Amino acid sequence: MKTDAGTEGECSVIQDIYPKTYHNEYEHKKPDEDAAILIYQGQRCLMHVDRDGEVLFPEKRECQGKLYYTYLFRIDDEEYYLGRYLSEKEVEPLLKKGFKWEDIREFRTGEPRDRCFAGVTGFQLGDWYRRHIYCGSCGAVLEHDENERMLRCPECGEMYYPQICPAVIVGVINNGRILMSHYRGRSFKKFALIAGFNESGESIEQTVHREVMEEVGLPVTGLRYYKSQPWAFSDTLLMGFFCELEGYNDKITLDQEELLEAGWYLPSEIPEDTDRASLTGEMMSLFRECDGELPIEFPERFEQMEDNRHIRTGLFRKKRR
């Protein structure tokens, strides 16, 4: 699959902006002068990144060109708007002020985390708006609904909502080891877990079974849901599961188109520099930090895991051979 999750950096999973709160209810309104404006061009966002990796977006008062604003969301009291332009000259004043087109991957490791989360989530919505100017059924220009984030066709009445694709991340465990792999032909070179998109007519549990079978040829059992993650880079909602190998045959049959290699690894063999912005990285880190003994209950936030050490049970360790 193409979630491509993972890169350098020791930070929290990308949607974890605690103690701040993300409010995504749509409001049909215009930006105040101090609203943050998210402007995108392909995979790049107009922003300022200082030496410490702190990200800054232009405020409405700084946008002198002709931009079309769409309300996106707010984080606590900070409001974010999408700024769209027809001609590049509209953003020239911002470039003169020192804002630059930066790759959206900066958001994985940048600071502060709430602003970076806004940057990726705004990218996902901005990309959806960009691809939904016209009605796919009749070709008329779509209009924004006033009550919710929905585009409606004034001619045929067709309604369009942001698209979210469910996918799974799977940590397969066998006798104190976890299955990790390397993708083939991908810029991302670090360890990954089994991953794949849900397909039509399939439950998310069936996706887990199918993806593990397709990628490494193994049956699994005892699925345990860990947590989910919005992965805006690919319009995805990732759902993380741990499960166990079913039976005693742990021989991997590799899907050579997807994977370069895959193997069983001890907690101590998991690199410490896994990307904590991604769910994949967090799941691998969890297995390492719990020394292969996953807790009975998964708390909502990774950091809370410390408090739960006493309820560790070694659920996946009982199966000795």
Q: Which residues pair with 30 in a beta bridge?
A: none
Output the DSSP codes for 96-165: HTT-EEEETTHHHH-BSHHHHHHHHHHHHHHHHHHT-SB-TTT-PBPEE-SSSS-EE-TTT--EE----E
Using the rule CB under 5 A, give the single segment among 5-13, 67-75, 136-144, 230-238 that binds Zn ion.
136-144
Q: Pick from 135, 170, 259, 279: which binds Zn ion (CB under 5 A)?
A: 135
Using the rule CB under 5 A, give the single segment among 99-107, 157-165, 198-206, 304-312 that binds Zn ion.
157-165
Using the rule CB under 5 A, give the single segment among 81-89, 155-163, 174-182, 257-265 that binds Zn ion.
155-163
**Binding residues with Zn ion: total (CB under 5 A):** 8
The residue assigned the tokens 């063999």 is: 269
Q: Pick from 56, 86, 95, 138: which binds Zn ion (CB under 5 A)?
A: 138
Q: Which is nearer to Zn ion, 95 or 156 (CB)?
A: 156
Quick check: 158 binds Zn ion (CB under 5 A)? yes
Per-residue x/- marks for Zn ion, 80-119, CB under 5 A? Answer: ----------------------------------------
Beta strands in 11-145 (DSSP E): 22-23, 36-38, 40-41, 44-49, 55-56, 68-75, 78-84, 100-103, 143-144
Q: Pick from 156, 159, 260, 296: which binds Zn ion (CB under 5 A)?
A: 156
Quick check: 141 binds Zn ion (CB under 5 A)? no
Q: Which is nearer to Zn ion, 56 or 138 (CB)?
A: 138
Q: Which amino acid is residue 312, in one-letter code?
A: R
Distance CA 255, CA 240 (A): 21
Name which of 193, 224, 208 is nearest 297 in CA terms. Answer: 224
Quick check: 159 binds Zn ion (CB under 5 A)? no
Distance CA 48, CA 50 (A): 6
> Given the rule CB under 5 A, which residues bind Zn ion?
135, 137-138, 140, 153, 155-156, 158
